[in-house]
Amino acid sequence: MATDPPFISPDPSAASMGLVEYRPEESDPARAAVEAALFALAGVRGVGEGRDAIGGPAWLAYVVDRATTARLPARLVGRAVIAEVTGEIDALPR
């Protein structure tokens, strides 16, 4: 019988780090290719990295609705693509 991996608490010291600046120019080429491919699809509002159901690395596609998930590729650059329905995402004013 399979068991879930043990829960590992997030590093509490990370909470004090504050905002992390996004620097797309420091992104690796594989991530840049995935972002370009996913953002080219209507309804994709964000791209991230995470884990699939068995703990393997995966790309996360933040999409506006369930219909958008049907247009996503199953895999990109050797990783599964997982849809996360978020609705529209708007940046907050500074």
The pLDDT tens digits for 53-89 are 898 999 999 999 999 999 999 999 999 999 999 988 8
Long-range pairs for 7-15 at CB < 8 Å and ≥24 separation?
none
First and final C-alpha spacing in the chain:
51
Binned at pLDDT 50, 70 and 90, residue 47 comes out as very high
Element (H, E) at 34: helix 29-39
Poorest-pLDDT segment among 39-43, 46-50, 77-81, 87-91? 87-91
- Single-letter residue type at 91: A
The pLDDT tens digits for 52-61 are 989 899 999 9
User: Domain boundaries in the chain?
Assistant: 27-85
Contact between 79 and 59 under an 8 Å Cβ cutoff? The reply is yes
d(CA 45, CA 19): 20
